[in-house]
């Protein structure tokens, strides 16, 4: 989802050209006879018969029904009937006559994206049930390689990364799945789902291409992933009806050898029956570059809600074999993403619903992106760039996306109602009833205490974790993928002011100095910031220091670019560092990673120390002494709040109003980044499953400035009205 797409969409809102186009009417049943495939002729014959009987509700239906009544889960029973009477595979999902056919019956996909990795597992069922109540029959999800293989060879498929349990749950709830295993997924997710350790490989990999070194790693990853999902393919009795190859590849490159490699790899693991598909922006150039023409892969399109869908579906046909192009918009945008510093993205409910109506009213299929966005917990948010690489825009922590099911699962809203009404018009069966919103609680003010100044914790660092090098190394080269990296060097002071130059730093560097010979100064002083967006230079004050001065550069990784040509987004200091024009040599690097989503152990050593200091601040006097302008941040602040009864454990939101910028951890779960001074997000979502009866602990790392009263509020609602974006 690019700036380009964003701009197209904005244009679309100002007045979509309402093209008219004649319908290509399909003649449904006659073409059943046109099918000809040698291998499975008998099967199709039988399926056709079943389909025919389904269209003509006569004799066999009662016998199906009687089986249903014996069964607690009729879908299984249905399969059993089919299997036992005609001896075919458990399920068939196919394309013919420009339609989808599920077990021989005409099928229309009304789907939605819901990413298991953006929702706590305890809430998967809650959200899926709401998606069903909206009228959806299919869930589309990406699979983020970086969550599942955080370090080379270290595989994670537990907790929020438990894809197999998610698939089982979809199956239990009778929801079909469109799986998007990447390897690149875009999705406003760090590095488009690529593990950041790919960036440390030398010589550099050519990602998303047929570079053999890259392909070997993809072969290995899919070799682990795809066998796990194979039992869940529809033709093997599971919920997965289609598997996507790459993601909007046409907007990135045109390396067909790469796409063919992925197709062969997928076929090798998944077999020949499952439908493979590509998704590309709905214009000729994207489709030319991103699709594989012919029968092997089904080409689908995505486009803005302002576009007239039918000319695009007509174009889609050109990239599919005759009869193999059911109209499918595989990303139908129900809302949009938001970057820090922007106004919160909102789209009109009725406009969105009428755009969907245009697709459904002519038997098109659509997948809502998103039906439920969820949250970028931890450090996994992605980022975009403008035309210039330095125009860097990280995504906010919330991935609410203005979707019909809100970040906290709310469905009582205009968009949910409008979309459900349209879907209901085009669904034969009546839709499941809509669950009410989940309860939310505000637990009131939480008094925080400063528990540790970040630099005070450096004494606790294991010397083995300190990396030394003549020149600064990137985060990835140091082996740390997320969080902060502290760079330390030293210089001899001059009589006049010095100028520090860091030509390339990703993404934000806070600079501190410390004169050891000065009395009273055991703590570095903040002298300013350098970041990717603005200035590269910083004047260092004349410190009148008798000894060398230590230079501390604390670099924050704010999320890797996930879209476009600048995805090669290493973090940390990526160039030499110059002091008055001369290169500074001799660096120590101290990783300050914190735990990220789903990481074990859950408590990082540094947070452990911050917690253990919850009563005393060792150098309290130093903090109060303003004369030397000693830095008060970055520092840890800790607070406690109590939940009296187990039945009061409900979702809450933590408001960071009045605070600067940082990260927050609730009961050892990293709930993400806050930056209310920049906005628009003021409150972070805290799902109930991470809360507990009794005492709950909130630890934050504040980078810029604490609120004067050191108070944070737990409230019962989201808020996207903070920061500089308020006035926009
Ligand atoms: C949509 O599909 C149904 C069932 O196959 C068919 O009866 C109807 O004519 C189709 N409508 C359009 C507009 O193609
Ligand atoms: C002071 O820093 C310089 C590097 O700028 C280094 O060469 C020198 O050895 C340091 N002096 C002491 C006393 O550590
Ligand atoms: C302390 O900071 C203030 C404002 O930030 C500045 O005006 C003052 O000169 C600083 N004092 C010292 C000793 O650096």
Q: Kindly give the distance from the C-alpha atom of residue 99 to the centroid of ligand 1, in angstroms, as a whole number.
A: 11
User: What is the per-residue pLDDT for 322?
Assistant: 96
As beta bridge partners, residue 444 has: 714
Q: Is the minimum distance from the CB of 363 to ligand 1 under 6 angstroms?
A: yes
State in Å: Cα 508 to ligand 2 middle. 27
Q: Say what the pLDDT of residue 23 is.
A: 28
List the helix and strand counts (H, then E) for the chain.
16, 33
SS3 label, residue 399: coil
Task: Specify whether the CB–CB gap between 136 and 372 falls below 8 A.
Answer: no
Residue corresponding to tokens 């990280």: 394
CA of 367 to the centre of ligand 2 (A): 61
Q: Which residues line ligand 2 (CB under 6 A)?
A: 490-492, 548
- Cα 530 to middle of ligand 2, angstroms: 24
Quickly name the fold that domain 3-26+98-425 has. TIM Barrel (3.20.20)
pLDDT value of residue 565: 92
Among 24, 363, 427, the mutation site with the greatest number of ligand 1 atoms within 8 A of its Cβ is 363
- 711-715/105-107 β-pairing: unpaired
Output the pLDDT for position 131. Answer: 98
Alpha-carbon distance of 511 to 553, in angstroms, equals: 5
Domains 439-453+594-728 and 471-585 alike in fold = yes
Q: Which ligand is nearest to the CA of 632?
A: 3
- The answer to whether 248 is a known catalytic residue is yes
Closest approach atom of ligand 1 to CA 28:
5
Average pLDDT per 10 consecutive residues for the chain, totaling 728 residues: 45 32 30 34 40 36 30 36 45 97 97 98 98 98 98 96 98 98 98 98 97 98 98 97 98 97 98 98 97 93 96 98 98 97 97 98 98 98 91 97 98 98 96 97 95 81 89 96 95 90 96 82 85 89 85 97 95 97 96 78 58 44 42 88 94 97 94 96 98 95 94 98 66
pTM comes to 0.86
Rounded Cα gap, residues 42 and 174, in angstroms: 28
Task: Please report which ligand is nearest the Cα atom of 107.
Answer: 1
Distance 629 CA to ligand 3 centre (A): 6
Give the mutation target among 23, 24, 26 for probing the ligand 1 site: most ligand atoms within 8 A of CB.
26
Contact 111, 178 (CB under 8 A): yes
pLDDT of residue 533: 82
Task: Kindly state which CATH superfamily the domain 471-585 is placed in.
Answer: Galactose-binding domain-like (2.60.120.260)
Q: Which of 149, 246, 248, 357 is catalytic?
A: 248
Which atom of ligand 2 is nearest to 586's Cα? 4
Q: How far is CA 309 from the centre of its chain?
A: 26
Residue 67 is predicted with a pLDDT of 32
Asked if 331 is an active-site residue, the reply is: yes
Q: Whose CA is nearest to atom 7 of ligand 1?
A: 28
Please tell me the predicted confidence (pLDDT) of residue 495.
Answer: 82
- The pLDDT score that the predictor gives to residue 249 is 98
Residue of 94, 149, 188, 331 marked active site: 331
Burial class (CB in 10 A: 0-12, 13-18, 19+), 429: exposed
Q: Tell me if 362 CB under 6 Å of ligand 1.
A: yes
Q: What is the pLDDT of residue 404?
A: 98
Give the pLDDT score at 459: 74
Domain range list for the chain: 3-26+98-425, 31-97, 439-453+594-728, 471-585
Residue 526, strand partner residues: 512
Ligand 2 mutation target, pool 491, 492, 579, most atoms within 8 A of CB: 492
Q: Please give the CATH number for the structural domain made up of 439-453+594-728.
A: 2.60.120.260
**The pLDDT of residue 76:** 38
**Using CA atoms, how far apart are residues 474 and 467, in angstroms rounded to an integer?**
11
Q: Would you say the CB of residue 28 lies under 6 angstroms from ligand 1?
A: yes
């Amino acid at each position: 989802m690019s700036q380009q797409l964003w701009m197209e969409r904005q244009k679309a809102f100002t007045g979509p050209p309402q093209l008219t186009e004649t319908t290509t009417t399909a003649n449904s049943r006659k073409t059943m006879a046109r099918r000809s495939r040698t291998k499975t002729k008998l099967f199709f014959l039988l399926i056709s018969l079943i389909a025919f009987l389904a269209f003509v509700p006569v004799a066999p239906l009662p016998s199906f029904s009687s089986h249903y009544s014996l069964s607690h889960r009729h879908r299984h029973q249905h399969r059993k009937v089919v299997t036992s009477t005609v001896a075919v595979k458990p399920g068939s999902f196919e394309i013919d006559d420009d339609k989808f056919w599920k077990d021989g019956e005409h099928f229309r996909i009304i789907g939605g994206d819901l990413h298991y990795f953006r929702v706590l597992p305890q809430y998967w069922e809650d959200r899926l049930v709401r998606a069903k109540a909206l009228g959806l029959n299919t869930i589309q999800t990406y699979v983020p390689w970086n969550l599942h293989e955080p370090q080379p060879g270290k595989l994670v498929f537990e907790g929020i990364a438990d894809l197999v349990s998610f698939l089982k749950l979809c199956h239990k709830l009778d929801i079909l799945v469109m799986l998007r295993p990447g390897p690149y997924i875009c999705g406003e997710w760090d590095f488009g789902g690529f593990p950041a350790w790919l960036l440390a490989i030398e010589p550099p990999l050519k990602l998303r291409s047929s570079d053999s070194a890259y392909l070997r790693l993809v072969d290995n990853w899919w070799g682990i992933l795809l066998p796990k999902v194979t039992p869940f393919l529809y033709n093997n009795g599971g919920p997965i009806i289609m598997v996507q190859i790459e993601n909007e590849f046409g907007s990135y490159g045109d390396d067909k050898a790469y796409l063919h490699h992925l197709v062969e790899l997928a076929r090798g693991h998944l077999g020949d029956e499952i439908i493979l598909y590509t998704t590309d922006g709905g214009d000729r150039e994207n489709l030319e570059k991103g699709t594989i023409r012919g029968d092997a892969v089904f080409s689908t399109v995505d486009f803005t809600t302002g576009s007239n869908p039918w000319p695009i579906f007509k174009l889609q046909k050109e990239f599919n074999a005759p009869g193999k192009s059911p109209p499918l918009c595989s990303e139908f945008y129900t809302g949009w993403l938001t970057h820090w510093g922007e106004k919160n993205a909102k789209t009109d409910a009725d406009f969105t619903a009428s755009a969907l109506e245009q697709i459904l009213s002519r038997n098109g299929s659509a997948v809502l992106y998103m039906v439920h966005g969820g949250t970028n917990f931890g450090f996994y948010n992605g980022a975009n760039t403008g035309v210039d690489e330095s125009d860097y825009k990280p995504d906010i922590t919330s991935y609410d996306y203005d979707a019909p099911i809100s970040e906290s699962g709310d469905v009582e809203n205009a968009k949910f109602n409008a979309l459900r009404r349209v879907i209901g018009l085009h669904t034969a069966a009546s839709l499941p009833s809509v669950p009410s919103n989940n309860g939310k609680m505000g637990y009131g003010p939480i008094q925080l205490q400063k528990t540790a100044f970040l630099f005070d914790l450096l004494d606790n660092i294991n010397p083995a974790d300190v990396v030394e090098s003549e020149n600064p190394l990137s985060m990835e080269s140091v082996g740390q993928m997320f969080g902060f990296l502290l760079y330390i060097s030293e210089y001899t002071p001059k009589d006049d002011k010095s100028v520090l130059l860091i030509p390339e730093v990703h993404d934000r560097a806070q600079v501190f100095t410390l004169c050891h010979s000065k009395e009273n100064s055991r703590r570095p002083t903040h002298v300013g910031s350098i970041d990717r967006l603005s200035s590269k230079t910083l004047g260092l004050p004349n410190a009148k220091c008798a000894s060398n001065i230590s230079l501390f550069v604390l670099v924050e990784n704010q999320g890797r670019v996930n879209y476009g040509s600048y995805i090669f987004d290493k973090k940390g200091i990526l160039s030499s560092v110059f002091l008055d024009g001369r290169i500074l040599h001799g660096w120590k690097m101290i990783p300050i990673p914190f735990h990220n989503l789903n990481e074990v152990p859950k408590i990082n050593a540094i947070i452990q120390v911050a917690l253990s200091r919850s009563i005393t601040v060792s150098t309290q006097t130093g903090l109060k002494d303003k004369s030397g302008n000693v830095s008060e941040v970055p520092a840890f602040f800790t607070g406690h709040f109590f939940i009296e009864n187990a039945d009061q454990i409900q979702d809450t939101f933590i408001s960071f109003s009045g605070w600067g910028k940082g990260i927050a951890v609730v009961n050892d779960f990293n709930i993400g980044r806050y930056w209310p001074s920049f906005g628009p997000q003021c409150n972070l979502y805290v799902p109930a499953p991470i809360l507990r009866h009794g005492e709950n602990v909130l630890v934050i790392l504040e980078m810029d400035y604490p609120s004067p009263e050191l108070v944070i509020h737990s409230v019962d609602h989201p808020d996207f009205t903070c920061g500089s974006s308020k006035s926009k």
